[in-house]
Amino acid sequence: MKFGIDRLLSEPDLLQQLSGRRVALVAHPASVTADLTHSLDALIGAGVNVTSAFGPQHGLKGDKQDNMVETADELDPKYGIPVFSLYGEVRRPTGQMMSTADVFLFDLQDLGCRIYTFVTTLLYLLEAAAKGGKAVWVLDRPNPAGRPVEGTLLQPGQESFVGAAPMPMRHGLTMGEMGHRFIRQFKLDVDYRVIDMHHWLPEAGPGFGWPEDRVWINPSPNAASINMARAYAGTVMLEGTTLSEGRGTTRPLEVLFGAPDVDAGAVLAEMQRIAPNWLEGCAIRPCWFEPTFHKHAGRLCNGLMVHAERPFYEHEAFRPWRLQALAFKAIRRTYPEYDLWRDFPYEYETERLAIDVINGGPGLREWVDDECAEPLDLDTAAASDEARWRDQVADILLY
């Protein structure tokens, strides 16, 4: 198969359409060709007139570790072109930034999750391009989580940098498809094109979204594996809690929680009692770890490790958003007074609890904290939203 960047570089008729035009590249460390050449080097090597580059959250180099760690603008030391940060002084491209090119190539590897901020960066770029009369080409890449859709829709008025628009936590789209969704939803008049992939089979095993003949490169510092990419739509919610998500270890965002004052075995037993079917599609293993930084640094934590990988992975059965919600519910029932929700500025939001920002509304938190709420209540609400989303995007699927 071919990713969008590989098609662009190998098809002369596509490259010819960039001739005589100033080109900008939106990229990060995973923006590479099939032979692992970075897209910036490959495009310039192919004679494309790249006049600027843009880095999303974590930077073009992918060196920034945590949320709200900003990247500054700079000059590329090799090519002397400006490299603009879309996670620094601004998160929306400015008019001055947009004036540096005619065509903007968007080549970001995504995780298929609403909260992963590259989705929002795409929307902001499309809006700026529509305003400035610029063209946007998405060089499409796989959604490593495949087509499954999961989670409640973001509620109107709950938009943020980790919630660009009403969509479920696992949206099931590629970035190229998401661009079509944004253009229709926000009625954008923009010159938009998707350089689609050849022969991507999102529901085919054993990769189920990620082709096994392509290596995985971290699109952000803590996105270290396909296991993480599959689990992320659930484990990312830990960022809004006092529980460790495994930052400061070698397997961040691959655990359902870690804490020095929680008995993981007792929580797992409660999860199995409450909703055993929500644990399907993966293996759950009690584990111990001591973070070297971030939450509970230097303290021994007991937790639960998620293995959404062979031989335990079942693509259709694995539901990480429900799995993580169930872990929260089991902790609340096992430790009713546990200080679960973290109150701190999260992705530039200071008025709402982080867990509500992450989920696009207070619904999940309220379900966890309501001692009378049962799994069926959350499942019913989510299933309705999931069905609505599938209907809304059915006609924009490219694969």
* Beta-ladder partners of 113: 170
Task: Clarify whether residues 71 and 18 are in a common domain.
Answer: yes
Tell me which DSSP letter residue 238 carries: G
**Cα 104 from Cα 120, distance rounded (Å):** 16
| CATH number of residue 382's parent domain | 3.90.1150.140
- Residue 345, domain member (yes or no): yes
pLDDT class for 61, splitting at 50, 70, 90? confident
- Residue 271, domain member (yes or no): yes
pLDDT class for 67, splitting at 50, 70, 90? low
- Residue 272, domain member (yes or no): yes
Task: Clarify whether residues 37 and 161 are in a common domain.
Answer: yes
219, 251, 276 - which closes a domain: 219
180, 199, 219 - which closes a domain: 219
Q: What angle do CA 258, 259, 260 make, to 5 degrees?
A: 140
190, 219, 248 - which closes a domain: 219
CA nearest to 123, candidates 114, 230, 349:
114
- pLDDT, tens digit, 9 for 90 and up, residues 74-95: 999 999 999 999 999 999 999 9
Q: How far is CA 194 from CA 76, 174, 397, in A?
A: 27, 10, 12
pLDDT at 69: 78
Element (H, E) at 258: strand 255-259
pLDDT, averaged across the chain: 96
The DSSP-derived string for 150-196 is: BSPPPPTT--BTTB-SS--SB----HHHHHHHHHHHTT---EEEEEP
Question: Is residue 114 classed as helix, strand or coil in its secondary structure?
Answer: coil
- Residue 368, domain member (yes or no): yes
The DSSP-derived string for 284-307 is: EEEEEE--SSSTTTTS-EEEEEEE
- How many other C-beta atoms lie within 10 A of the C-beta of residue 381? 16
Task: Clarify whether residues 75 and 214 are in a common domain.
Answer: yes
Name residues whose C-beta falls within 8 Å of residue 223's C-beta, 6 or more positions apart in sequence. 111, 229, 232, 253
Task: Clarify whether residues 97 and 152 are in a common domain.
Answer: yes
- pLDDT, tens digit, 9 for 90 and up, residues 106-144: 999 999 999 999 999 999 999 999 999 999 999 999 999
**Cα 286 from Cα 149, distance rounded (Å):** 27
Tokens 């930052």 correspond to what residue?
247
pLDDT at 46 over 90: yes
Q: How far is CA 24 from CA 54, 101, 127, in A?
A: 7, 6, 16
**Cα 198 from Cα 307, distance rounded (Å):** 30
Range of the structural domain that residue 253 is part of: 226-388
**Cα 60 from Cα 56, distance rounded (Å):** 7
Write out the two tokens for 306.
Answer: 């998620």
The answer to whether the pTM exceeds 0.75 is: yes
- pLDDT, tens digit, 9 for 90 and up, residues 199-251: 999 999 999 999 989 999 999 999 999 999 999 999 999 999 999 999 999 99
**Cα 11 from Cα 33, distance rounded (Å):** 14
